[in-house]
Amino acid sequence: MIKFLFALLTAICIYSCSYSEDGPISIYPEELEGDYSGFALFASLDSGNFIHLRKDTLRIVLDSIWTLSNCFLENISFEESEEDSVLFLKPIIHFSLSATDCASPLFFPETLISIPPSDSWKSYQEIRVMDSQGELEDSIFLRNGDFLKDTFEIYIDSSFADPYLLPRKTKGEPSILKKIDSLQERTFYWRTMESRCTYIVDTCETKLDTLYPNSWSLRDTNLVPIRLTCKDSTLRYCLQRDWKNDSLALGKLNERLDTLWYYSWFLIQEMPKGGMLNKLSYSDISHKTKVQITEEIFKPESEKDYITTPDSSLMFYDLRTGEKVSYDDSLYSVFKNAEIGRDTL
């Protein structure tokens, strides 16, 4: 199809160049008329849902639509086919050639097509939308039921910051669980380094002060300045600009052991029987703050509309990766035995 259209366009260009009468030369001669098909390279379902309710209008976004010219687009329809309980939709781009000249970009911008609900959808469990070449672009489950929308907050208290108190969960349902995934032991190497003051501000009784860094390097030996400071906090021994470090006056090599903790956060919630989470958004998770969660849950109308098995109604959602997690006995055991946060009791 694409090769044919390219050859047709080439023929039009050659013909238009040889077409000579008074006035502007038309790119599309009047004799060149008829019905042809273009194509759409991309197709997607615009809802962002996992599930589409049979009673709702289905919206499909088509992009990179080729019709030779803006003036030629006649209609967009969908060729339907079925396999088992799956409905396949393939876009057909109809256009007609004429002698009309107009601006002609290579591709049309995206176009939204709305398809009203149909009685024939009762026999399908899934809809798959293709591009014009028959390649699968997007899919969605088809069910009867309702979407339950809710917004709520869960408080994360300070005890969740202590790795030695994990795993830990918030009280009630839905609940947030924090657990340790793994830990990594690290060793930092460091030496003390003498630091001298070039101009003393106050003469006072002094003591040594070790300036440990805020961050440590694993690649290099960390140099830690040793400075004098006044025992009397109201006096100032030296200004910051007057300190000079002596990199030749170093102490012995020391080791500093450190543990790097890796955590996971989960939202655990009971789903309606046979239902599932359709959409979820949430604010940043941090200690001593409230996490705001907005969710949309699918509630099936009857057993034939179940999207999950009835015995797996507990949902685990990984808040770190933003993905649902399959039910796991070990994860459920961690959740069941986790202590409840102090400030949520």
* pLDDT of res. 20: 47
Q: For residues 141 and 94, what is the distance between their CA atoms, to the nearest angstrom?
A: 28
- Write down the pLDDT at residue 34: 55
Q: How far apart are CA 90 and CA 79, in angstroms?
A: 5
Considering the domain architecture, whether residues 153 and 277 belong to the same structural domain is answered as yes
Omega before 167 cis (within 30°)? yes
As a whole number, the mean pLDDT across the chain is: 84
The whole-number pLDDT of residue 175 equals: 94
The sheet with strand 58-66 has its strands ordered as 39-45, 58-66, 111-115
Specify if 2 maps to a domain.
no
Ranges 1-5, 185-189, 283-287, 323-327: which has the least confidence: 1-5
Residue 15 lies in a domain: no
pLDDT at 8 over 50: no
Q: What is the pLDDT of residue 15?
A: 47
- How much is the pLDDT for 311? 64
Nearest Cα to 313, choosing from 259, 262, 274?
Answer: 274
Does residue 71 share a domain with residue 199? Answer: no
**Which pLDDT value is given to residue 14?**
47
Mean pLDDT of 285-299: 93
Question: Quick one: 178 and 325 in the same domain?
Answer: yes
What pLDDT score was predicted for residue 252? Answer: 94
DSSP states of 188-210: EEEEEEEEEESSBSS---EEEEE
Least confidently predicted of 69-78, 212-221, 321-330: 69-78
Percent of the chain exceeding pLDDT 70 equals 83
Domain identity same for 48 and 29: yes
Helix (H, G, I), strand (E, B) or coil at 335: helix
Q: Using the 8-state DSSP alphabet, how is residue 200 labeled?
A: B
Whole-angstrom distance, CA of residue 26 vs CA of residue 262: 69
For residue range 136-172, list pLDDT tens digits in order: 888 999 999 999 999 999 999 999 999 999 999 999 8
pLDDT value at 325 more than 50: yes
Contact 306, 340 (CB under 8 A): no
The per-residue pLDDT for range 179-229, each reduced to its tens digit, is 999 988 999 999 999 999 999 999 999 999 999 998 999 999 999 999 999
* pLDDT for 265 beyond 60: yes
Number of domains composing the chain: 3
Q: Does residue 19 lie within any of the structural domains? A: no
Q: What percent of the chain has pLDDT over 90?
A: 47
Per-residue burial over 263-279, b if 16 or more Cβ lie within 10 Å, else e, is ebbbbbbebbebbbbbe
Dig out the tokens for 99 from the structure.
């002698």
Report pLDDT for 49: 80
Q: Mapping DSSP to helix (H, G, I), strand (E, B) and coil, where does residue 71 land?
A: coil
Instruction: Indicate if 90 and 153 belong to the same structural domain.
Output: no
Same domain, 210 and 89: no
* 104 shares its domain with 175: no
What confidence score (pLDDT) does residue 50 get? Answer: 85
217 with 278, same domain: the answer is: no
Task: Label residue 19 by pLDDT band (50, 70, 90).
Answer: very low
Question: Which of 59-73, 114-128, 169-183, 280-294 shows the lowest per-residue confidence on average (mean pLDDT)?
Answer: 59-73
Q: Could you tell me where the DSSP H helices lie in the chain?
A: 2-18, 329-337
- Domain limits for position 209: 188-255
Is residue 29 reached through a cis peptide bond, with omega within 30 degrees of 0 on the bond before it?
A: no
pLDDT for position 36: 66
Find, among 26, 152, 133, the residue nearest to 79 by Cα: 133
pLDDT tens digits along 102-135: 666 556 667 888 889 988 898 899 999 988 888 8
Mean pLDDT confidence for 59-76: 78
88 and 135, same domain (yes or no): yes
CB atoms under 10 Å from CB of 297, counted, come to 19
198 and 236 housed in the same domain:
yes
* Residue 13 is assigned to a structural domain of this protein: no
Residue 9: is its pLDDT beyond 80?
no
Q: Could you give the CA distance from residue 294 to residue 316 in angstroms, rounded to a whole number?
A: 16
